[in-house]
């Protein structure tokens, strides 16, 4: 999956996705722009760095929807079922992504002498070295983002090894026994 983050003006950015699994997704304007690093990009850095295969971006790579939507004609019942399945099995990765993003963004902001986001005291189980490495990646990505001129884009490629192929996965599917048990009720 390739994601293009484009600076549209001083207050907004847009996000477009090209992926292998699931219907095409409509581009959208990103929420919560930040001149140093938009929130969506912060999630990307954290999820890729810590290998969260079913966080925000991993679910999208697997064919899910999350905060993006396909065109109405592509938003079939089958796609909606896949989205629900990925959300259910990815709940732990989503929670971990939110916590790690809050902690890493806060630590990164402290490292550059700015505190825009306050982090709750999550015990995310990171060693000082792990946190430093994530902060360094956040800083490098921020510098890359800041170097873009208005109208320019930054493209990120989601790692293949973190992409769940839903067609070959039993994740979140009911077993035959579960289906039979539910049918007897």
Answer for the pair 48, 102: CB distance below 8 angstroms, yes or no: no
Q: Tokens for 97, please give them.
A: 């992504």
Say yes or no to pLDDT of 32 above 90.
no
| Residue 185 scores a pLDDT above 50 | yes
Structure tokens at 169: 């996965």
117: how many CB neighbours lie within 10 A of its CB? 15
Q: What pLDDT does 177 receive?
A: 55
pLDDT above 90 covers what percent of the chain? Answer: 60
**Which one is predicted more confidently, 155 or 115?**
155
* pLDDT classification of 169: cutoffs 50, 70, 90: low
66: left (phi over 0), alpha (psi -120 to 50) or beta: left
pLDDT of 96 strictly over 60: yes
For the stretch 135-160, pLDDT in tens is 999 999 999 999 999 999 999 999 99
Alpha helices in the chain (DSSP H): 39-49, 56-61, 77-89, 91-111, 128-146, 176-184
Give the neighbor-by-neighbor strand order of the sheet with 28-29: 28-29, 13-18, 2-7, 153-157
Predicted model pTM? 0.85
Q: State residue 168's pLDDT score.
A: 63
* pLDDT for the residue numbered 119: 63
Q: What pLDDT does residue 174 have?
A: 47
Question: Shortest CA distance to 106 belongs to which of 90, 126, 89?
Answer: 126
Q: At what angle do helices 91-111 and 128-146 cross, to 10 degrees?
A: 80
């Amino acid at each position: 999956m390739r994601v293009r983050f484009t600076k549209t003006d001083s207050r907004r950015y847009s996000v477009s996705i090209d992926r292998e699994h699931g219907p095409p997704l409509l581009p959208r304007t990103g929420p919560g722009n930040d001149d140093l690093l938009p929130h969506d990009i912060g999630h990307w850095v954290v999820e890729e760095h810590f290998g969260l295969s079913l966080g925000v971006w991993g679910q999208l790579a697997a064919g899910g929807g999350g905060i993006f939507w396909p065109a109405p004609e592509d938003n079939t019942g089958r796609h909606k079922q896949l989205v629900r399945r990925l959300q259910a099995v990815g709940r732990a990765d989503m929670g971990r992504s939110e916590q790690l993003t809050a902690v890493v963004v806060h630590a990164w902001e402290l490292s550059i002498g700015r505190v825009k986001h306050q982090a709750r005291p999550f015990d995310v189980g990171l060693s000082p070295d792990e946190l430093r490495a994530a902060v360094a990646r956040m800083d490098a990505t921020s510098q890359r983002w800041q170097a873009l001129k208005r109208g320019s884009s930054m493209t990120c490629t989601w790692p293949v090894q973190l992409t769940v192929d839903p067609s070959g996965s039993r994740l979140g599917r009911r077993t035959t026994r579960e289906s039979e048990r539910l049918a007897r009720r």
